[in-house]
Amino acid sequence: MPLPKPIVAVTMGDPAGIGPEVVLKALADPAIKRNCRPLILGDWEVFERTRRRGKNYPKLIRWRQGEALLPRLNGEAGFVVYPLSSLKAAESRPGTPSRAGGHAAFRYISVAAKLALTGLADAIATAPISKSVLIDAGYNYPGHTELLAELSRTRECRMMLVGGKLRVVPVTGHVSFSQVPRVLSIDNIQTTIELVYRSLRELFGIGRPRIAVAALNPHGGEDGIFGDEEIKIIRPAVRAAAMKGIAVGGPFPADSLFHHAAQGDYDAVVCMYHDQGLIPMKLHHFFGGVALTLGPPFVRTSVDHGTAYDIAGEAKADASSMKEAILLAARLARVNKQLGRKVQQD
């Protein structure tokens, strides 16, 4: 008996950014309805105002407390919106972020996590938020990853960026470049390698993943001439992971590593800091790249771009990353369901 299409909780992101627009544009693609049952978490009035500024957007259905949800999700009439805020036009003006919008964005994420943790949603796909707006609203998180780690009580989380040619995972996330050498340790590098290994096996079905680890310093440190992090921290972490049977190599000089990874020599690259991995990622996959959170007990994907306040409300945002985030969430949720069913049968 085939498994039902997974329910993907899709958050609207910052109401003043391009989130409402890219969500609507992504939902308009027939592939979304073929592969999953989206449940949209956001603001009904913001979506309606966004619909009036664009065209060819899909029909939305407002879900109200007390109504049966599954029949709505299973219906063909439109996409179900779970309204979690009711922002005034002045609080959600495109391109003008507000504290109220920050509170709303936090609520969308929190409820999505609860739905996933209780099994009411099979996966989460998030539209972009602004870190500074979130912090200004009183939520001191540098991004989705750290917030979801706390909501799910997950000790170790990492962000994998996924594209057709590359998968990259930074060890350090949203920290300043000057802090990177101080934050790196044998433990957090080894933990990242092991998280990547498990995810590639369990979610992507790669039997023996090939993982490369990037060096921090130019030319891989050149035997300590340009820095000794490779000798003291990165290489011992790689060796420790290899001792556990993981096919991992490095540290490799970053200036040439990503070329080989994009050619298919590796299944993922562990990077030392944010931009080391995201620059090559966005060079190859500026449109359509997806962020995947590794660690939580549920699937969570996201767009790989920001709120783009400068073009919000102009109906010209590219929605390919949002669409791919929803589709990847659905695909990985289906893998999780199949694995769960196999465990039960065994």
pLDDT of 342 > 60? The answer is no
The pLDDT value given to residue 143? 78
Residue-wise pLDDT tens digits, 231-290: 999 999 999 999 999 999 999 999 999 999 999 999 999 999 999 999 999 999 988 899
pLDDT per residue over 97-131, tens digit each? 999 999 999 999 999 999 999 999 999 999 999 99
Helix, strand and coil percent figures for the chain, each rounded to 5: 45, 15, 35
Residue 64 has what pLDDT?
Answer: 81
How far, in whole angstroms, is CA 42 from its chain's centroid?
18
d(C-alpha 325, C-alpha 332), whole Å: 11
Cβ atoms of 5 and 102 within 8 Å: the answer is no
pLDDT at residue number 48: 94
CA dist 148 → 106, 255, 287, 313, 336 (Å): 11, 32, 25, 28, 19
Q: Which two tokens stand for residue 119?
A: 């099994």
Residue 252 corresponds to which tokens in the numbers above?
A: 């490799």
Q: Please list the alpha-helical segments (H only) found in 130-224.
A: 131-136, 144-151, 180-183, 186-202
If you ran DSSP here, which 8-state letter would residue 58 be given?
P
Residue 4 pLDDT: 83
Is 342 exposed, middle or buried, given 0-12, 13-18 or 19+ CB atoms closer than 10 A? exposed
Burial level of 171, CB count in 10 A (0-12/13-18/19+)?
buried
Residue in the block written with tokens 């299973």: 74
Contact 334, 234 (CB under 8 A): no
Q: What would the two tokens of residue 3 be?
A: 């498994």
- Residue 172 and residue 195: Cα distance in Å, rounded? 14
Indicate the pairing of strand 37-43 with strand 60-62: unpaired
Residue 131's nearest CA partner among 120, 145, 117 is: 145
Provide the percentage of residues in the chain whose pLDDT is more than 70.
95
- 67 or 226, higher pLDDT: 226
Which pLDDT does position 330 carry in this prediction? 96
Does this model's pTM top 0.75?
A: yes
Q: What is the pLDDT of residues 169-192, one digit of tens each?
A: 999 988 899 999 999 999 999 999
